[in-house]
Structure 1
Amino acid sequence: MTKSYLRSAALAGLLVMASCSTNGSDAPARDDTAPEVTARQTNLPTELPPMRAFTSGAVLPVSRSNAAIAADFLDLSFELESGRALPVLSRFEGPVTIRVTGRAPAVLSDDLNRLVVRLRNEAGIDITRVAPATDASITLEIISKAQLQRLVPGAACFVAPNVASWSEYKSKRGTADTDWTAVRERSRMSIFIPGDVAPQEMRDCLHEETAQALGPVNDLWRLSDSVFNDDNFHTVLTGFDMLVLRTYYAPDFHSGMTKDEVAARLPGVLARLNPGGGSGAPVPASKTPVLWKQAIETALGGRVPAATRRVAAGRAVDMARVMGWRDTRLAFALFVQGRLNLGVNSDVALASFREAEAIYGSTPGNRLQAAHMGVQLAAHALSMGNSATAIRIADAHLPSVQNAQNAALLATLLMIKAEALTLEGRVTEAQLVRLDSLGWARYGFGSDSEVTARLNEIAAISPRSRG
């Protein structure tokens, strides 16, 4: 899975929204219309504050029934993202070790230590971090983004079975050794993550790929509270994800079991691990049609003409409505449609974001997704000079974003709030909020130049930059 998509998709386009909203007509891309704003204009400090990082977050309890979770578990565990079936359950049998090789930034090492503690405490997995030179069950190798994408274009990070290094993966790629359908028991897994991207991007890869190295390797569009979803909204392991991993490593199961064998024992296991979810046989969930998936993939395709992508997004929205969905699949299609219409059709963009926010906001456990819509709506309010609305929207979404540990989104909302406070003449308060945003931005966006660029983009939205 490409983990970098959603960060750029959800947070890009703010200036385009501003430019298309202020003149009431179609507008060119933001690079053609946005005024240049210097760091001095945005009150950027001479030196940025220290990077801020999350140390913990509240894990939301699982809200669905065990019957629904059982169906999710089986679909996640016995199918690949490509649709190919996995004949048996495969996992590590016995204690698991994990090591880091390559040039790992200190912040990634800290994130890994926190993840290992969570996996032990929440998923009940006997996992331990070991030294780089020690053989390990899971090898986390840090390489450059260019290296990774030369071999796997478009990927942000990935996991591969039966290899212990990048060089070994290159030599075995395409062979039976790296074929997931041939895996009967896991003994060696490697995760490949670029070390020259933002800390948050590295952490996001760390969470999902480690979960897949340990457990399911599939993603399901219908899941709203999981990293096992191609929409990439959730980027750190959730309560649902930990329950899935705890179930995966329950003593009732073992490597080599078939889907029917697992399904027979699954209700009892879930009733024991999640007593609040009741019991019962798996209830088949509504399948996501291949045509809808293809429409979304086309809409997200970076190498497809923009007009083709917009048509595909509209087709995905239409199909979701015909299917009668009022879940995250319709909301995500609307989100993609809204983003692709930024700078092209402001009415469609705003209507799409508003409807998506309403769907996410009315569904339990989807406050984070709603915040991704809210950042676009707050930017629009700021561009129109509606400072009170921009502040209200930002404040409404800050708690859920903080809890989800999304520093890039958190920093962007705070920057928008700071500009709105400035418009209201609350300059001292605005400076404090802006300073707070910069510490999170260093974790979410990485380099100082990226942080400055984001701050300048937000400042360019404000009417004061056009004043």
Structure 2
Amino acid sequence: MGLSALLALANCDETLTSSVVPQPRPAASAPEPNAYVPPSAASQDLARFYQRVERDLVTRGLLRTDGGGPDTPYDASDLERNFETIAFYSEYPDHAVTATAYTTEGQLSRWSGPVRVQAEFAPTVPPEMRAQDTAQVEAFTARLARLTDHPISVVSRKANFHVFFAGKDDSAYVVSRMKQLIPGIDQPVLDLIANPRANIDCFVIASPTNLSPHRFVRAVVLIRAELPDLMRRSCIHEEMAQGLGLSNDSPAARPSIFNDDDEFALLTSHDEKLLTMLYDPRLEPGVTVENARPVVRIIARELMGQPL
């Protein structure tokens, strides 16, 4: 009723001043689709829970940020073994978290074309957190590009590697975006996105094409906005690296973030070498673990400075 009255009044004013050239009115700017919305009480409770978890882990000497040291030695044989486990197999062999029906166990999967990274934020992520997380994603993207010598860069449009930060209240927004970004995404994945299990802080979905099941063309990382700073940075490091092709975890990998024991929060010297190995041109996407072993052995020894 009020809107109709305002429109009628505007039309009347134009009629009364028809001898005067009407001045253009500035168009009202549409609100951004992910404009900030304060989180709910439940989301704030979850944030406090994760703060307690982070404090507990750090108190126990976990979530290390030193990248490894004298207490975590490793040699070329360790690197070779861990690379085989982490790069040739999936953390989700039952495909509970996947966007493809192809089975690629025992074969190398990675990107062949340029990786274009963009951070995206759901409505409940505060502006100051958006700025901080964007800076972290940009810095880590540059690091990944150096380690892999692969074209990996941050973009503002036409991304194919999205890093999402979203809170407990943002399920509908994120599910809608996932449907746009990954056509044909499996329903179990959407269910997981809408209602993440309590033990899942973050995860990545990397998908290839039907014709090239070992060459990734799209990836989406999802990170809980309720996580405190160190746990959020840890998610950035692990999930972005996994989205490049280091898809598995191994309890034997140390020092490494590809280990579910939470000892290390950030990419280690060991993990840097895994990424370099993954994108070595002597290894091709789709190569089997058996055929790759002789080459992996050579690369591991080169990186460690050990004789063949």
Same fold (TM over 0.5): yes
Q: Deviation per CA, 1:62-108, whole angstroms, max 9, x where unpaired?
A: 84221221111111122223566714211001322111122561111
Q: In structure 2, how many angstroms separate the alpha carbons of the residues matched to 1:11 and 1:71?
A: 29
Q: In structure 2, how many angstroms separate the alpha carbons of the residues matched to 1:60 and 1:115?
A: 21
The structure that is strand-richer by fraction is: 2
Do the aligned partners of 2:88 and 2:109 also contact (CA within 8 Å) in 1?
A: no
Do the aligned partners of 1:60 and 1:239 also contact (CA within 8 Å) in 2?
A: no
Structure 1 equivalent of residue 113 of structure 2 = 94
Query: Greater RCO between the two (CA within 8 Å, min separation 6)?
Result: 2
Q: Deviation per CA, 1:396-417, whole angstroms, max 9, x where unpaired?
A: xxxxxxxxxxxxxxxxxxxxxx
Q: Deviation per CA, 1:366-413, whole angstroms, max 9, x where unpaired?
A: xxxxxxxxxxxxxxxxxxxxxxxxxxxxxxxxxxxxxxxxxxxxxxxx
Structure 1 equivalent of residue 145 of structure 2 = 120
Do the aligned partners of 1:89 and 1:259 also contact (CA within 8 Å) in 2?
A: yes
Alignment partner of 1:7 out of 18, 33, 54: 54
Q: In structure 1, how many angstroms separate the alpha carbons of the residues matched to 2:301 and 2:54?
A: 36
Do the aligned partners of 2:89 and 2:107 also contact (CA within 8 Å) in 1?
A: no
Structure 2 equivalent of residue 160 of structure 1 = 205
**Structure 1: which amino acid aligns with 2:109?**
S
Report how many aligned residue pairs link the two structures: 215
Q: In structure 2, how many angstroms separate the alpha carbons of the residues matched to 1:240 and 1:123?
A: 14
Alignment gaps of 5+ in structure 2? 1-49, 95-103, 123-128, 172-191
Distance 1:59 1:153, change over 3 A: closer
**Structure 1: which amino acid aligns with 2:57?**
A
Do the aligned partners of 1:115 and 1:207 also contact (CA within 8 Å) in 2?
A: yes
Structure 2 equivalent of residue 68 of structure 1 = 78
Do the aligned partners of 1:99 and 1:138 also contact (CA within 8 Å) in 2?
A: yes
Decide which structure has the larger Cα Rg and report it.
2
The aligned runs of 1:10-409 (5 Å cut-off) are 10=57, 63-82=73-92, 86-103=105-122, 105-131=130-156, 134-146=157-169, 147=171, 150-154=194-198, 155-162=200-207, 183-272=213-302, 274-279=303-308
Q: CA deviation at 1:57?
A: 6.9
Q: In structure 2, how many angstroms separate the alpha carbons of the residues matched to 1:67 and 1:197?
A: 36
Q: CA deviation at 1:12?
A: 7.5
Do the aligned partners of 1:157 and 1:205 also contact (CA within 8 Å) in 2?
A: yes
Distance 1:229 1:277, change over 3 A: farther
TM value normalised by structure 2:
0.61
**SS of residue in 1 equivalent to 2:254:** coil
Distance 1:9 1:183, change over 3 A: farther
**Structure 2: which amino acid aligns with 1:136?**
A
Q: In structure 2, how many angstroms separate the alpha carbons of the residues matched to 1:107 and 1:234?
A: 21
Distance 1:77 1:71, change over 3 A: same
Q: CA deviation at 1:60?
A: 5.5
Q: In structure 1, how many angstroms separate the alpha carbons of the residues matched to 2:53 and 2:284?
A: 35
**Structure 1: which amino acid aligns with 2:287?**
M
Q: In structure 2, how many angstroms separate the alpha carbons of the residues matched to 1:276 and 1:145?
A: 47
Percent sequence identity over aligned pairs: 22
**Structure 1: which amino acid aligns with 2:196?**
V
Q: In structure 1, how many angstroms separate the alpha carbons of the residues matched to 2:90 and 2:205?
A: 13
Distance 1:256 1:11, change over 3 A: closer
Do the aligned partners of 2:204 and 2:220 also contact (CA within 8 Å) in 1?
A: yes
Distance 1:186 1:123, change over 3 A: same
**SS of residue in 2 equivalent to 1:228:** coil
Taking only aligned residues, the RMSD between alpha carbons, in angstroms, comes to 3.1
Distance 1:265 1:12, change over 3 A: closer
Q: In structure 1, how many angstroms separate the alpha carbons of the residues matched to 2:110 and 2:224?
A: 25
Q: In structure 1, how many angstroms separate the alpha carbons of the residues matched to 2:306 and 2:150?
A: 22
Alignment gaps of 5+ in structure 1? 14-55, 164-175, 280-467
Q: CA deviation at 1:150?
A: 4.5
Q: In structure 1, how many angstroms separate the alpha carbons of the residues matched to 2:56 and 2:93?
A: 26
Runs ≥4 residues deviating over 6 A: 56-59
Q: CA deviation at 1:58?
A: 7.2
Q: In structure 1, how many angstroms separate the alpha carbons of the residues matched to 2:154 and 2:66?
A: 22
**Structure 1: which amino acid aligns with 2:143?**
R
Q: In structure 2, how many angstroms separate the alpha carbons of the residues matched to 1:236 and 1:188?
A: 23
